[in-house]
Amino acid sequence: MGVLENKARARLFYKYLSKVYDRVNPFIWNEEMRDEALEMLDIQQGDRVLDVGCGTGFGTEGLLHYTDDVHGLDQSIHQMQKAWEKFGKNDEVRFYRGDAERLPFADDAFDVIWSSGSIEYWPNPVTALEEFRRVVKPGNKVLVVGPDDPKSGVFQKLADAIMLFYDEEEADRMFEAAGFVDIEHHILQRQPGSPRAIVTIARAP
């Protein structure tokens, strides 16, 4: 388990990262990549969508282009304060402070679940994905964006010591263990040589 796959350490990490997150994030996960991932989902106006690990609201902003019923959840109060400054004061998004592994929602509460840049910090990814399956309506989709596993042996060891990095095979294992079907993966990258994101889309049976 990586150093940041610990909730207390991750919260402390984001306390400081939240100050610069919106300036740093585009070098890894930019609007073009986000929008390409969003197009992989068939979100309709009026769909109730949950953004798990919403952070400062980068993914949330994209979701609002598709539906006005968006809900954001994060465990970092510092990240959520940034998101609240963007959306909360106008009641565009309802925010919740919570844990991906214990979602504070009823079964079948959402039409779509989106999560970008969060899975790498979950101590128990399968537990969180089981929660996703519980709160998304049967037959509907979830989309999760995480860091693709580095192919370099040295960098891979360093990356794994910090947080979760995984490949398509490991993503299949996690999503299948959580009970999802029709699992597919897409690799997105800002430019050659930059960090790669793995986008996984799966359906709740």
30-76 tens-digit pLDDT:
999 999 999 999 999 999 999 999 998 999 999 999 999 999 999 88
The answer to whether position 101 is within a domain reads yes
> Which residues have CB under 8 Å from 31's CB, separation 6+?
62
Instruction: Classify residue 161 as exposed, middle or buried by CB count within 10 Å of its CB (0-12, 13-18, 19+).
Output: exposed
The vertex-82 CA angle with 77 and 85, nearest 5°, equals 120
Q: Tell me how far the alpha carbon of residue 180 is from its chain's centroid.
A: 16
* Structural domain contains residue 130: yes
Look at the chain and report how many structural domains it folds into: 1
For residue 133, the model assigns a pLDDT of: 98
Residue 189 lies in a domain: yes
Return the top range by mean pLDDT from 8-22, 106-120, 188-202. 106-120
- When pLDDT is averaged across residues 135-163 and rounded to a whole number, the result is 75
- CATH code assigned at 101: 3.40.50.150
Residue 37: inside a domain: yes
Q: Does residue 54 form part of some domain?
A: yes
In tens, the pLDDT along 104-132 reads: 999 999 999 999 989 988 989 999 999 99
2 falls within a domain: no
Expressed as residue numbers, the domain containing 111 is: 7-204
Residue 127 lies in a domain: yes
> What pTM value is reported for the model?
0.84
In a domain, 1, yes or no: no
